A and B are shown apart, each in its own frame.
Chain A
Amino acid sequence: MERGASLAAPGIAAAASFAIASQLIGAAFLYLILRVDGGWQVLGLLALLGLGFYLLERLPWIADYALASFARVPLVAMVTAAVIVLAFPFFVGSNTYILHLLIVAELYAVLALALNFQLGSANIPNFATGASYGIGAYVSALLAINFGVSFWLTLPVAALAATLFGFIIGIPSMRTRDTYLALVTIAFGVVVQQLLNNFSWTGGPNGLVGIPAPSLFGHSFADPLVIFGWKLPSQANFYYLSAALVVVAIVTAHRLHGSRIGLAWNALRADEIAAKAQGINVAWFKVLAFAVDAFLAAFAGTIYAFYVSYISPDNFTFLVSVTIMTMVIVGGMDNIFGVIVGAFLLTILPEKLRAFADYRLLFFGVVIIGFLMIRPQGLFPQRMRRYGGEP
């Protein structure tokens, strides 16, 4: 926990080159793992990743140096990140499968960031994120199919509906804690899925079909995206849309984390009684965490519904909530970057392990356990807040 490193603060040039190089390496790695197919190649890349995290665990100054570099040249770091995200589909080209994986990973990153407010910041084990996700998807899909409401309008409506749901599940949950709280949220998640399955107006087990593709300035998201003469498959539309949502989620998470609200959540995570004694309205802040989680999850749900144009209750099962929770735990509780890495890793990995056929899930489990053994606190654990530009 102690910051043992006494490495000199990086100069501007060193910091900028580090920020650019490290992000390029990260992007190249993501590209490689998405591209390769053979079992051995995937294994090799995983071993490389494991080695990277092993070094990070043994040499904590690497993380300190990285953070200092990014803090030194935030603009360079952000521009690099933006360029990488924008350029990535051009390298992927016409491979729609890779684009699909990226979109799903982005949506899961948003869901994991949403859950992180509860699980990571406030230690509320909410197993109903999948349900909020589903409510967002269904509300927007129903509005679009039945009333022809545009995608852009369904976004806020679905988010508000899911937030309301967050309040509804948050309030009774306040009477319980820890394990019992987890049980209440599991029940809520299952109830929502069963309701979606049994109502006739939600299409029952058949779900909703034919959700129209959104359009922006006359450009339909079902059409290929043409930029500077480059033609990208229609999935690229949703790739950029989801990327924008990830940015929204990151900004939301960053601002809340850095404010009095993030501190209050952290306080009730550490010691609820002490938090009360500091004047924190514990019940309200817990409900708030539920609401923020549901709000962001509904955004992800809406994009998902319009992307696949067909949703059914099976998309929003208890297992989805568990997956999101695993992403937060593996990635690193209360660490925005870690949670995103966790979401990408856990989305892409099962797909890449198809070479192992019947042993795929077994192997997936082994890899996850392996990463947790290398980095018990998550791939990128929570860091102390720093104030006033101090190192």
Chain B
Amino acid sequence: MSALLKVENLTMRFGGLVALNDVSLSIDKGAVLAVIGPNGAGKSTLFNVVTGVYRPTSGRVTFDGAEITGRPSYEVVDRGIARTFQSSRLFSDLSVLDNVIIGMHTRTRTGVLTALFRPSASRREMAACVEKAETLLKLGSGDLFEQRYRPAGTLAQADRRRLEIARALASQPKLLLLDEPSVGMDDTETDALVADIVRLRAENPELSVVLIEHDMRVVEAFPHHVTCIDYGSKIAEGDFAAVRADPRVQEAYLGKAVAHA
């Protein structure tokens, strides 16, 4: 089976800083890849390069058979990659429902002329969006649906993370990039999040997920493919047990062992 997303020899430099150094990884259709590594290792930069926020210094990104290196974000989303942000970036003055509807931007078509001269077509499209958005909000853990007319900025932290995921799913992605979805969640909420991801995969067997995580309990739930990045370079890859046992990973997280010096 060919890889859905393939990242080859990706290097990203900001002036003298090497944020990503020759990173390669790939993920198959329907798989979950967990990316771990200390703060500042370059994990979020990886997402930013894949989604077209940054153009890489060198390297290639291929998605679903097409090269998307450095393509603009709107094209990348249109092709089927959706993401969430580490520090949730919701449209805080808009309602929860509107946030999800905006997530459907690439799946809707109304232009200015349609909106002005065929208002019924525009209204129909919007009504369909509302219906889909309400379904999405009912699906996950939490009670986002009941809060759908609240401004997104007033949501509790865990709900903000859930809304980010719902918004990302609204674009019907083939690949979902989750940037530390469990930040700010307590243990119960984290368990619910894991259950949400498991359910999501059961419902969409084709959906691939890349997960940046610090919470090892989340990583443990998806142990088959784990990649560890440190100082911009990939230092380990394999299943969770192997990566956890890798001395370089332990070093990256815990510091150099005294005996090693």
Query: Which A residues contact B (CB, under 8 angstroms)?
Result: 1-3, 252, 255-256, 258-261, 263-264, 266-267, 269-271, 273-282, 288, 292, 382, 384-388, 390
B97 contacts A387, C-beta separation under 8 Å: yes
* A260/B123 in contact, CB under 8 A: no
A-B contact pairs, 29 of them (CB 8 A): A255-B115, A255-B119, A255-B122, A256-B112, A258-B122, A259-B114, A259-B115, A259-B122, A260-B110, A261-B115, A263-B94, A263-B101, A264-B105, A270-B90, A273-B85, A275-B102, A276-B74, A277-B73, A277-B89, A278-B167, A278-B171, A279-B73, A279-B105, A288-B112, A384-B95, A385-B95, A386-B149, A388-B127, A390-B149
How far is A267 from B167 in the complex, measured between Cα atoms in Å?
12
- Inter-chain contact A277/B51, CB cutoff 8 Å: yes
Q: Are B149 and A256 touching (Cβ within 8 A)?
A: no
Q: Is the CB–CB distance between B94 and A267 below 8 Å?
A: yes
Say whether A281 contacts B74, CB under 8 Å.
yes
How far is B100's CA from A267's CA once the two chains are assembled, in angstroms?
11
- The residue that B91 contacts in the complex, of A255, A270, A382, A386, with Cβ under 8 A, is A270
Specify which of B85, B111, B112, B127 is in contact with A274 (CB 8 Å cutoff): B85
- 6 new A-B contacts, CB < 8 A, other than A260-B105, A260-B110, are A263-B105, A264-B105, A266-B93, A271-B91, A277-B77, A277-B83
Q: Per a CB cutoff under 8 Å, which of B103, B111, B151 touches A261?
A: B111
B123 touches A258 (CB 8 A): yes
> Which residue of the partner chain, among A271, A279, A386, A388, contacts B90 with CB atoms under 8 Å?
A271
Would you call B213 an interface residue if the criterion is a C-beta within 8 Å of the partner chain's C-beta atoms? no
CB-nearest residue of chain B to A268: B91
Give chain A nearest CB distance to B26 CB in angstroms: 22
Cα–Cα, bound, A236→B115 (Å): 32
Chain B's interface size range is 35 or more
Residues of B within 8 A of A387 (CB): 97, 126-127, 130
State whether A270 touches B127 (Cβ < 8 A).
Answer: no
Q: Give the CA-CA distance A264 to B103 in the complex, in Å.
A: 10
- Closest Cβ of chain A: how far from B59's Cβ, in Å? 21
B89 contacts which chain A residues (CB < 8 A)?
A: 271, 273-274, 277
Contact, CB under 8 Å: B102 / A267: yes
- Complex alpha-carbon distance, A271 and B88, angstroms: 11
Taking the closest CB of chain B, its distance from the CB of A15, in whole angstroms, is 21
5 smallest CB-CB distances across A and B, nearest first, come from A279-B77, A279-B106, A270-B91, A274-B89, A259-B115
B-side contacts of A3, CB under 8 Å: 149
B154 at interface by CB-CB < 8 Å: yes
Q: How far is the CB of A104 from chain B (nearest CB, A)?
A: 26
Roughly how many angstroms separate A271 CA and B98 CA in the complex, as a whole number?
A: 14
Report the bound CA distance from A390 to B97 in whole Å: 13
Cβ contact within 8 Å between A259 and B110: yes
Q: Which residues of A contact B171 (CB under 8 A)?
A: 278-279
A2 contact set on B, CB distance < 8 A: 150, 154
From the candidates B78, B92, B130, name the one contacting A279 in the complex (CB within 8 A).
B78
Q: Are B102 and A273 in touch, CB under 8 angstroms?
A: no
Report the minimum CB–CB distance from A299 to chain B (whole Å): 14
Which residues of B from 55 to 104 have beta carbons under 8 Å from A?
72-74, 76-78, 82-83, 85, 89-95, 97-98, 101-103
User: Which residue of B72, B102, B106 contacts A263 across the interface (Cβ within 8 Å)?
Assistant: B102
What B residues does A271 contact at CB under 8 A?
A: 89-92
A274→B91 contact, CB < 8 A = yes
Contacts of B115 in A (CB 8 A): 255-256, 258-261
Q: Which residues of chain A are within 8 angstroms of B111 by Cβ–Cβ distance?
A: 261
